[in-house]
Amino acid sequence: MKPDPGLIAAPVGETTGSSSRVVYKAEVYAVGSTNRLKSFDLKSRFDLKLGGGKNGQKPVLEIITMVWTVLRNPAPSAPPRPTRQARYVVEDSSGDEDRRLRTPSPPRLQDDVALPDKLEDFEISSIGDSRIVIHSPFLLNAIRRTIQYYPGQDLTGDQVMICEPYMCLAHYYSEIAALAKPCQTGGQDTSCFIHKHHTLCTESTKDHVRLLLDEVLEAFMENKIRPALNKLSQPVPVVTFEMAWLLFRPGVDLYSHFKNWRSVAIPSVAYEIRLKRRPPTEEMDEIPDRRAPLPWAVYSWGMCGSGEDVGRTKHTTYIDVYEGEKEVTQLDVYPCEYWDREHGPERKESFIKWGKRYYDLLKKGPQEVYVDGLGTPDVTGYTIPAKVPIPYP
């Protein structure tokens, strides 16, 4: 089978040896700052020595790690200038407006300080998360054909950046790992039933997928993902807050609950999860602390009706920070499979039954129907004591 000519023409990844195809970098930031000071090439992720030169070609992928640092012996290039420290005012708790506490802002790196040319001259205080930048058109084509629905990750363009914890790659790890396997055909059909598209059968594609697995995903799966998956496969599945995102692969069916009404489950379909501050509401007794850890915001969509039309609506459910492990079905939102595995499919079947009944009612047009039971969440706790005819819609 012929590979895609457009992919063959790309000058990426035809050299041998992973050192020229994977570039490791460290981005240096001052402690307490988001302004990058310098960027250094490394031989490996945790190697603090500069790497060798480049051959002029773009690598298959870059692995960039954020490093927070302070200068050991900064040598000013000019006599230091006096700097004005920004101050903020805190009212005295006694209410006396004349008594104020003035606190200086954190010290800033002066503009006229000459930065070292070697990473060894910085004092490393912490090593942060990494991100990968994929340049290989073979690898980009493989990822795009494998991950076709992931609203929270941009996979367009000549290069793609994916940040740790590499959610999309972890959610599709099995499918991506399969792309590195040899092609297999059977019977009279000459097409490969492993890769399912001729552009994924090229040796360059398989080679670059193996590079992604060897340099990034295998170690990350072994250290972070597989331990979490083992906990999710227990008789009583549990998950830590840090790894809760693993539950929400886009497209999975969810049950979500109102904060104080766990007996009511709302079905929806996940499409994104990210750390996001909960917006203030009227029910909040105090303003949220902006320094507090961010909760997970789980975005999903479901169906709703106005009595005349049926359409799609969006939901946002928050998972607040918690310590240790928590049962999956005790979260405010979780995949349906975890409930159905323990309690059976009755809940899902009832939702399907209600949906069909609602659709049939809409098709019949305005009519008189009977309501007997608990009201909607807008009238929480209201129960109609007997069958009462009401016009509908």
Domain range summary for the chain, segments of one domain joined by +: 5-77+112-228, 239-354, 364-392
What's the pTM?
0.74
Residue range 47-53: mean pLDDT, rounded: 40
187 CB contacts (<8 Å, ≥6 apart)? none
Q: How far apart are CA 350 and CA 336, in angstroms?
A: 13
Residue range 315-322: mean pLDDT, rounded: 93
Task: Evaluate if residue 172 carries a pLDDT over 90.
Answer: yes
With contact defined as beta carbons under 8 Å apart, do 29 and 177 qualify?
no
Residue range 244-253: mean pLDDT, rounded: 96
More confident residue, 198 or 154: 154
Enclosing H/E stretch for 266: strand 261-275
Q: How far apart are CA 158 and CA 147, in angstroms?
A: 17
Query: Could you identify the residue written with the tokens 């906990």?
Result: 231
Task: Evaluate if residue 362 carries a pLDDT over 90.
Answer: no
Query: Could you identify the residue written with the tokens 């904060």?
Result: 259
> How does DSSP classify residue 320?
-
Residue range 306-325: mean pLDDT, rounded: 87
With contact defined as beta carbons under 8 Å apart, do 65 and 127 qualify?
yes
**Exposed/middle/buried for 252, CB within 10 Å: 0-12, 13-18, 19+?**
middle
9 CB contacts (<8 Å, ≥6 apart)? none
Whole-Å CA distances, 211 to 130, 133, 161, 226: 17, 13, 16, 20
Give pLDDT, residue 67. Answer: 85
307 CB contacts (<8 Å, ≥6 apart)? 362, 392, 393
Query: Could you identify the residue written with the tokens 């693993």?
Result: 246
Q: How far apart are CA 83 and CA 111, in angstroms?
A: 10
Of the ranges 84-98, 153-167, 298-312, 363-377, the best mean pLDDT one: 153-167
Q: How confident is the model at residue 90 (pLDDT cuts 50, 70, 90)?
A: very low
Give pLDDT, residue 236. Answer: 95
Largest CA distance in the chain: 90
Return left, alpha or beta for 166; rule: phi > 0 is left, psi -120 to 50 is alpha, else beta: left
β-bridge pairing 333-335 and 238-240 = unpaired
With CA atoms as reference, report the closest residue to 169 among 110, 204, 216.
216
Strand, coil or helix: 198: helix
Neighbours of 9 (CB within 10 A): 8
Enter the tokens of residue 24. 């490791």
Of the ranges 93-107, 139-153, 362-376, the best mean pLDDT one: 139-153
317 CB contacts (<8 Å, ≥6 apart)? 256, 297, 298, 300, 332, 333
55 CB contacts (<8 Å, ≥6 apart)? 15, 20
The per-residue pLDDT of the chain, averaged, comes to 76
CA angle 278, 279, 283 (to 5 degrees): 100
Q: How confident is the model at residue 211 (pLDDT cuts 50, 70, 90)?
A: very high
Strand, coil or helix: 225: helix
Q: How confident is the model at residue 43 (pLDDT cuts 50, 70, 90)?
A: confident
Q: How far apart are CA 20 and CA 60, in angstroms?
A: 9
With contact defined as beta carbons under 8 Å apart, do 296 and 319 qualify?
yes
Beta bridge partners of 71: 122
With contact defined as beta carbons under 8 Å apart, do 201 and 1 qualify?
yes
More confident residue, 389 or 15: 389
With contact defined as beta carbons under 8 Å apart, do 136 and 12 qualify?
yes
Give pLDDT, residue 370. Answer: 63
Residue range 172-193: mean pLDDT, rounded: 81
Q: What stretches of 214-332 show up as alpha helix (H) in DSSP?
A: 218-220, 226-232
